Structure 1
Amino acid sequence: MIQPHGVILAGGLATRMGGGDKGRLGVGGRSLFARVIDRLEPQVDRIALNANGDATRFADLGLPVLPDSVDGFVGPLAGVLAGLEWAAETGAPHIVTAAADTPFFPADLVPRLLLAAGPEGVALAATRDEDGKLWHQPTFGLWPTALRHDLRAALEGGLRKVLHWTDRHGAGMAEFPVTGLDPFFNINTPDDLATAEAAL
């Protein structure tokens, strides 16, 4: 099977961190971008970065930079769409997305998502909290390039919530165990950054 392409989602505004590129924040002496790239790269065929604004500020990463092709910062699905359109140009059947602010995601993310794919090839990661409640991780998913036109139409029609779209397409679910810190712990605030430092 052809390995999916990887897309790091970094198109948000990072308002709770005071703006800027969260991926540049350091954890344990390395940037979040570096940690996410290192974790994703062995699992995919190639990687691109979904980000908006001046792409040259990411030149040091050596990755293609994919801006949202839907205006207005409409959320992670816009980054998914940008990734799908990029991957379709290379003939890749799928992409896997990972958030730029989530440095501890599983090293077996991609194979587990591939195994969990629903009938249309969509899958999302999930975890359970200590009370047994299921939490979907909508920025960590497997997305088939064949659905890119459907996704664009949905976004242009006003859809914003990831689960609303994935439910339409019978998304499978890859549930990952939580031992200590949730593997999909993401950094939104200075306190989160301190938690990540402590986890290392």
Structure 2
Amino acid sequence: MTEDRPSTVGVLLAGGLARRMGGGDKPMKTIGGRTILERVIAQLAPQCDGLILNANGDPARFAVFGLPVVADTVEGFAGPLAGVLTALDWAAEHRPDVEWVLSAATDCPFLPRDLVERLQRARIAEDAQLAVAASGDQTHPVIGLWNVALRSDLRHALVIEDMRKIDRWTARYKLAKVTWPDKPIDPFFNANTVEDVAKAEQLAALDGA
């Protein structure tokens, strides 16, 4: 923990149904000889004070990674906001020393190594309540910093208001946005389809990643 990077727990969001991938677990797809989840863990573990995996279904399928696997606390596959809420609840119970949670998608094989540092720095500089990543001209609302103190507000939005879109909820708060270059490789490229996985293989080979 430093002044520019307060203690931060990372949540790897793997609760989706992978419909565009034909079902199954997107994070377990292999790129360049490693699963996408292995790549995400390798990038984020050095940046965070612990990682948890948000996934529904049998947690044993992720046992090899040695991470706490936490299912959504809101029923009905309520989307990434449910995963974020789950992580905030988990941090409040298991890591009361931590005020911030970083969320990241587990279909992004090329996440930047300075993700937490830059998001925290921008949040502090702008006195923001939340921070989100962007690349080029595209914002990536699933990849951001969340304050554990906002978990009650988020639960109300999810359960009472039936809110699902992340940017609708974050619009209620002061939000810092940090942009990374999207060339030569977009660090937030996400492998949503079989075609995306094939493209990621090519990108990984070009980058030596």
Q: TM-score range by the shorter chain?
A: over 0.9
Match of 2:133 in 1: 125
Identity level (%)? 50
Counting only pairs closer than 5 Å after superposition, residues 51-62 of structure 1 correspond to structure 2 as 51-62=55-66
User: Are residue 139 (structure 1) and residue 142 (structure 2) matched?
Assistant: yes
Structure 1 counterpart of 2:119, from 103, 113, 127: 113
Which amino acid counterpart does residue 147 of structure 2 have in structure 1? P
The TM-score, its normalising length taken from structure 2, stands at 0.90
Q: Which residue of 1 aligns with 2:31?
A: 27
| 1:41 matched residue in structure 2 | 45
> How far did 1:120 drift?
4.8
Instruction: Letter of the 2:59 partner, please give it.
Output: A
The residue matched to 2:88 in structure 1 has which SS?
Answer: helix
Q: Which moved more, 1:1-10 or 1:18-27?
A: 1-10
Q: Does 1:184 align with 2:184?
A: no
Give the length in aligned residue pairs.
Answer: 195
Whole-angstrom distance in 2 between the partners of 1:99 and 1:70: 18
Aligned-pair CA distance for 1:139: 1.2
- The superposition leaves residues 86-117 of structure 1 with CA deviations (integer Å, 9 ceiling, x where unpaired) of 11121110100111000101110001110122
Q: How far does the alpha carbon of each residue in 1:42-74 deviate from its partner, in whole angstroms, 9 at most, with x for none?
A: 000000000001111111110001111111111
| Alpha-carbon distance, 1:119 to partner | 3.7
Asked whether 1:87 is paired with 2:91, we answer yes
Post-superposition Cα deviations, 1:92-151, rounded to whole Å, max 9, x if no partner, equal 1010011100010111000111012254531000112xxxxx211011100010000000
Question: Distance in 2 between the 1:62 and 1:119 partners?
Answer: 35
Partner of 1:131: none
In structure 1, the residue matched to 2:103 is 97
Normalised by the length of structure 1, the TM-score is: 0.94
Corresponding residue number in structure 1 for 2:68? 64
3-state SS in 2 of match to 1:143: strand
Contact 2:12–2:106 (8 Å) recurs in 1: yes
CA distance in 2 between partners of 1:150 and 1:135 (Å) = 26
Give distance in 2, aligned partners of 1:21 and 1:61.
14
- For the residue of structure 1 that corresponds to 2:78, the secondary structure is coil
Could you tell me how far apart the structure 2 residues matched to 1:39 and 1:59 are? Answer: 19
**Runs of 5+ consecutive residues of structure 1 not aligned to the other structure:** 129-133
